[in-house]
Structure 1
Amino acid sequence: MSGDRQTIDDSILEAAAAWVARLQSDDATAADRKAFDVWIGEHPDHRAAYDELRALWSDLEDVPISEGRLGELRAQRRRRVGGFVGLCLAGGLAILSLTTPYGDRWRADYYTGVGEVRRIALEDGTEVDLNTDTALVVRYEQGLRRVWLLRGEAFFNVAKNPQRPFVVEDGSLSATALGTRYSVGSAGADFPTDVQVEEGRVQVEAAGQNAILGAGEAATIDPEGRLSLTKTDVAAGTAWRDGKLVFSRRPLRQVLATLERYRHGRILLLDGSVGDLEVSGIFDLHDTDDALQVLEASLPLRVLRLSGLMVVVQSR
């Protein structure tokens, strides 16, 4: 169907992104605009593609956006359609409106809000630390203790009971404690499902694969569904339990994605060229604005706070 954004050819989208980037630049010429008018008139899909990409950042005319990055942002928007209501305008600014996690919270026995971290005690004496925006269901049976992680991340200090195994599931894997302390993180837009073991052992099963992890080891499900085992710094990875976020030579894009988990709204990296910059540091997860200030002061970045719900990061 002509003009349908889901069926527009990728080559047209790339050309539209190039025109958006060109026309919003300071050195756009009259000849560029004339050529653009010709291109727009060649096919209805040209106008549909241009209008959507331009609407993404309609109020960011002073922010240079490369055509490649603009295309990536559009692709991200399409991939995350289940996670966003869409675009809305508030106060003349483009803001992404997030769907709330009320569905998972409605089903959950325990949950935390965005930016909240808290500890709970289960009936068997197991202690659970819930990370930001986490929801879980607990079902204890005669011979089994089962937890469903609906969203987010949780750390389990499991009370030993060999007659009643303790199993955490999230839909893509199950992690059975063999008397241990470990964390399970459910898959999100920017993070894979993973298990990190601080003490003891954990048996992990996923897609017909099995592995037993020891202290200091982690298991991750890669995009192809394979179980990948690595050594990891569990203390750093679970420092959120103490209100801290610890990064050691982590890519900036990953750091920003982590910070975004602890605040309402979006942090958008407009310049993909700086996404690979390495970041090391310890930040207070309750003050992500301060973390962004530190990043801006220590890296060649510009942080634009467009509203309480939208932060844009670009290179200087």
Structure 2
Amino acid sequence: MSGNRQTIDDGILEAAAIWVAKLQSEDATVADREAFDRWVAEHPDHQAAYHELRALWRDLGDVPIPAGRLGELRAQRRRRVGGFVGLCLAAGVAILSLTTPYGDRWRADYYTGVGEVRRITLEDGTEVDLNTDTALVVRYEQNSRTVRLLRGEAFFAVAKNPFRPFVVEDGSISATALGTRYSVGTVSADRAADVQVEEGRVEVEASGNKAILGAGETATIDRQGRLSLAKADVAVGTAWRDGKLVFSRRPLRDVLATLERYRRGRILLLDETAGALEVSGIFDLHDTDDALRVLETSLPLRVMRLSGFMVVVQSR
């Protein structure tokens, strides 16, 4: 039945939560409200979802909260389950957790939280720098050394041992060190899997394709498994190891996606005009709020902080 709270698609609920957050802001424009009216007119479920989440907002005294939290509150308000159903839900949550950051951390030998960067030393002397929200599993056998990258990105300064190959894999890519220093980033919602070589050589394999990278070369694997090679300034790409994020003529959309990886919550870009703006600069990854302030003052942008967990960016 259209508009039924049990059948409204989660994507519609998420969009409705964003509209609630956007329209409660003092920065909402006439154009925003006109766009919202068009969205509501597209389907009866849009209006039903908006009214329900708006009611939740009023229940909380109009305190600004992130869109995702509205969905959680919605679920809490309608939860009426018996003991058996509750156990089933708990089991479902446990299974689902294996695909979340917490599930990856539970399975990992080493991990970092959001915004955390740290260095570890493996049993063979290999040094590993873990970027924000990274998790990995280490499996050392008599004739092999394998690191499974569950999420995130890591830089490896590999201890040489020709009799025990050192391999990093993430399910889409395998990178074998040939005596080297290199980084591997796993695929995520906003980035492709990649390998960046600072020193030495790395043999990369993806979807049956192989390539050997030298210093200053990178390999990127897209979602179709295609392997692309390029030259790059690896020091820039791995500046996070020194607490810095370096951008050279990068579109704002990419810069915001990177900043979002180092903070809790969401950065929502509202228009493509702003997203296409070029950004060059060096930012402290431990202070993404300062980075947002610099972007707002140096570019024709408006940055709205709707809560401690949601930031909206649009053209000024």
Question: TM-score normalised by the shorter chain: which range applies?
Answer: 0.7 to 0.9
The residue number in structure 2 matching 1:95 is 67
What are the Cα deviations for residues 219-267 of structure 1, in whole angstroms up to 9, with x where unaligned? 1112322011111110000000000000000010000000011111111
TM-score (norm 2): 0.76
Q: Note the 1:1-316 alignment, pairs <5 A.
A: 2=2, 26=30, 46-52=43-49, 91-97=63-69, 101-316=101-316
TM-score (norm 1): 0.76
The residue number in structure 2 matching 1:68 is none
Asked whether the equivalents of residues 96 and 266 of structure 1 are also in contact (C-alpha less than 8 Å), the reply is no
Q: Name the CA distance, whole Å, in 1 between partners of 2:146 and 2:32.
A: 61
Change (3 A) 1:105 1:46: same
Q: Name the CA distance, whole Å, in 2 between partners of 1:312 and 1:95.
A: 12
Asked whether the equivalents of residues 58 and 94 of structure 1 are also in contact (C-alpha less than 8 Å), the reply is no
Q: Report the Cα offset of residue 52 of structure 1.
A: 4.2
Asked whether the equivalents of residues 218 and 229 of structure 1 are also in contact (C-alpha less than 8 Å), the reply is yes
Q: Report the Cα offset of residue 2 of structure 1.
A: 5.0
Q: CA-atom RMSD, angstroms? A: 3.3
Q: Report the Cα offset of residue 93 of structure 1.
A: 3.8
Asked whether the equivalents of residues 158 and 179 of structure 1 are also in contact (C-alpha less than 8 Å), the reply is yes
- Tell me the SS of whatever aligns to 1:188: coil
Q: Report the Cα offset of residue 108 of structure 1.
A: 0.6
Q: Name the CA distance, whole Å, in 2 between partners of 1:139 and 1:28.
A: 52
- Tell me the SS of whatever aligns to 1:96: helix
- Tell me the SS of whatever aligns to 1:178: strand
Q: Name the CA distance, whole Å, in 2 between partners of 1:187 and 1:28.
A: 33
Q: Report the Cα offset of residue 54 of structure 1.
A: 8.0
What are the Cα deviations for residues 276-311 of structure 1, in whole angstroms up to 9, with x where unaligned? 110000000000000000000000001111111111
What are the Cα deviations for residues 82-116 of structure 1, in whole angstroms up to 9, with x where unaligned? xxxxxx99824443249861111111111111111
Q: Report the Cα offset of residue 59 of structure 1.
A: 11
What are the Cα deviations for residues 14-73 of structure 1, in whole angstroms up to 9, with x where unaligned? xxx9xx99xx863899xx9xx98xx95xxxx7211344478889999xxxxxxxxxxxxx
The residue number in structure 1 matching 2:80 is none
Structure 2 residue runs of 5 or longer lacking an equivalent are: 73-96
Q: Name the CA distance, whole Å, in 1 between partners of 2:182 and 2:62.
A: 42
The residue number in structure 2 matching 1:74 is none
Q: What is the aligned residue count?
A: 269
Change (3 A) 1:54 1:237: farther
Asked whether the equivalents of residues 140 and 146 of structure 2 are also in contact (C-alpha less than 8 Å), the reply is yes
Question: Letter of the aligned partner of 1:174 in structure 2?
Answer: S
Asked whether the equivalents of residues 185 and 195 of structure 1 are also in contact (C-alpha less than 8 Å), the reply is yes
Structure 1 residue runs of 5 or longer lacking an equivalent are: 61-87
**Percent identity (aligned):** 70
Change (3 A) 1:271 1:51: farther
Q: Name the CA distance, whole Å, in 2 between partners of 1:312 and 1:195.
A: 31
